[in-house]
Amino acid sequence: MNHIKPYKDLQGQYRYKIVSRNGKTLADSGEGFKTRAGLKKNIEALAKIFAHCDTVFDALLALKLLK
């Protein structure tokens, strides 16, 4: 199963990766967060978006990455 892997980068900021079953990174946070609370808030916001998506295409539309 895919999972979210939080980590701290070399600058001390919190980030996350979405990792597939085979260990490959599917996506990352794209930015660092100063606090764990900020990281958690971002992950929770994504979870709300993806909960209503049936496909990856729907998720991309919801994130407005496809036009």
What is the pLDDT at residue 11? Answer: 96
Domains held by the chain: number? 1
Query: Average model confidence (pLDDT) for the chain?
Result: 84
Tell whether pTM > 0.85: no
In a domain, 39, yes or no: yes
In a domain, 43, yes or no: yes
pLDDT of residue 59 exceeding 90, the answer is: no
CATH of the domain at 38: 3.30.160.160
Round to whole Å and give the CA distance between 64 and 67. Answer: 7
Which residue range forms the structural domain that includes residue 15? 3-62
Label residues 26-38 b or e (16+ Cβ within 10 Å = b): eeebeeebeeeee
Q: Which two tokens stand for residue 63?
A: 């994130």
Rg of the chain in Å (alpha carbons): 13
